[in-house]
Amino acid sequence: MKLRSLVPGALLVLLVVIAALLSYLWTPFDVATLDIRNKFASPGAEHWLGTDHLGRDILSMLMVGARTSIAVALVAVGIGMGVGVPLGLLAAARAHSWLDELIMRGNDLVFAFPALLIAIMITAVFGPGAINAIIAIGIFNIPVFARLTRGAAMSLWNREFILAARVAGKGPLRISLEHLLPNITNLLVVQGTIQFSLGILAEAGLSYVGLGAQPPIPSWGRMLAESQTLISLAPHLALFPGLAIVITVLGLNLLGDGLRDWLDPRLRRER
């Protein structure tokens, strides 16, 4: 019961990560080689998931595409944590000061933009591409982590062990790094998993509308976009990239739920 969602979630995520890592060493077929004679092959013994309109092997493309998705979402979470957590700690350490107010209002401002809208603006202005997609998604992770960190850190500032640290002469910086940060790591890991899955979805959406990773880098979103015009001809083209996204996102969400229950039983949402 306890590990109900942790194990399946971890297994799904592991499957995708292994597929992505394996693609560096080996894929069933080379994704850069076109084989027009074998285009639109149905799933079968040779091409397990079939081939696309240029005769490329779908399974190989999905494996390489996993790299793009994971890299974009992972770096975007990294940006969110790298900027958001220090901001949150700072806001909590200087609670109710002008600095705190500035940071929190800045957060509100970013939240006022529908996430996808600003992502589209950024990629449209600075040009489409994986890097700009990462930045666009990363910006939206910043307020999420800043708010979470501030809230959690604020509740810790009044606890006895922090008081003891202050009596011992530690400054706000050392208290934040040595006492607060270790105590909120669990929360950050769980939120990181959730933002990771949102990042995968966002990357897929951006590359679907042509604003994510550019050809020839395979990406799940663009595979779906390319499949759209061929939907009556080869439905399997639209099926597998979508399933890959669902498996990844589902795995990450289950993993997040499971980690939350496992790391912090008090937060358990069994009820």
Partner 1 sequence: MLHYLFRRLGSLLATLLVASLVVFLVIEVVPGDPASYMLGMNAQADTVAALRSELGLDQSGPARYLQWISGMLQGDFGQSYTYRTPVADMVADRLWISLPLALYALFLSTVLAFPAGIWAASHRGGVADTTVMGFTQLGIAIPNFWFALLLVMFFAVNLGWFSAGGFAGWESGLFAGLKSLTLPAISLALPQAAILTRVMRSSLLDVLGEDFMRTARAKGLSERQALLRHALRNAMIPVLTIMGLQFSFLIAGAIIIENVFFLPGLGRLIFQSIAQRDLIVVESVVMLLVFAVVMVTFVIDLAYAWVDPRLRQQRR
Smallest distance from partner 1 to CB 161, Å: 23
Q: Which is nearer to partner 1, 18 or 246 (by Cβ)?
A: 246
List all residues 6 or more positions away from 16 whose beta carbon is below 8 Å from its beta carbon.
66, 70, 244, 247, 248, 251
In the chain, what are the helix, strand and coil shares in percent, each to the nearest 5?
A: 75, 0, 25
* Among 19-27, 52-60, 160-168, 227-235, the segment contacting partner 1 (CB under 8 A): 227-235
Least Å from the CB of residue 253 to partner 1: 6
Q: Provide the mask over 1-40, with x wherever binding to partner 1 is found by CB under 8 A and - wherever it is not.
A: ----------------------------------------
Residue number with CB closer to partner 1 (29 or 115): 115
Task: Kindly state whether residue 269 participates in binding partner 1, applying the rule CB under 8 A.
Answer: yes
Size of the site for partner 1 (CB under 8 A): 37
Write down the least CB distance from residue 211 to partner 1, Å: 9
Residue 268 C-beta: closest distance to partner 1, Å? 12
Nearest CA-CA partner of 217 in 69, 37, 118: 69
CB of 104 to partner 1, least distance (A): 9
What's the length of the chain?
271
With a CB cutoff of 8 Å and minimum separation 6, the contacts of 144 are: 80, 84, 191, 195
Q: How far apart are the first and last CA of the chain?
A: 13
**Alpha carbons 257 and 266: distance in angstroms, whole number:** 13
What distance in Å separates the CA atoms of residue 157 and residue 57, rounded to the nearest whole number?
Answer: 55
Among 68, 107, 195, 197, indicate the residue that binds partner 1 (CB under 8 A). 197
Cβ-in-10-Å burial (0-12, 13-18, 19+) of 232 comes to: exposed
Q: Of 24 and 113, which has the nearer Cβ to partner 1?
A: 113
Residue from 231, 264, 267, 268 binding partner 1 (CB under 8 A) = 231
Name residue, tokens 């971890």: 10
Q: From the centroid of its chain, how far is CA 139?
A: 12
Nearer to partner 1 (CB atom), residue 121 or residue 164: 121
Residues whose CB is less than 8 angstroms from the CB of residue 185 and which lie 6 or more positions away in sequence, other chains included: none
Q: In this complex, which beta carbon is closest to partner 1, that of residue 29 or of residue 144?
A: 144
* Residue 269 buriedness (CB in 10 A; 0-12 / 13-18 / 19+): exposed
Number of C-beta neighbours around residue 109 at 10 A: 10
Residues 76-135 binding partner 1 (CB under 8 A) are 105, 108-109, 112-117, 120-122, 124-125
Minimum distance from CB of 190 to partner 1 (Å)? Answer: 16
CB 240 within 8 A of CB 178: no
List the interface residues with partner 1, window 233-252 (CB under 8 A): 235, 238, 241-242, 245-246, 249-250
Q: Which residues bind partner 1 (CB under 8 A)?
A: 105, 108-109, 112-117, 120-122, 124-125, 197, 201, 204-205, 208-209, 224, 227-228, 231-232, 235, 238, 241-242, 245-246, 249-250, 253-254, 269, 271
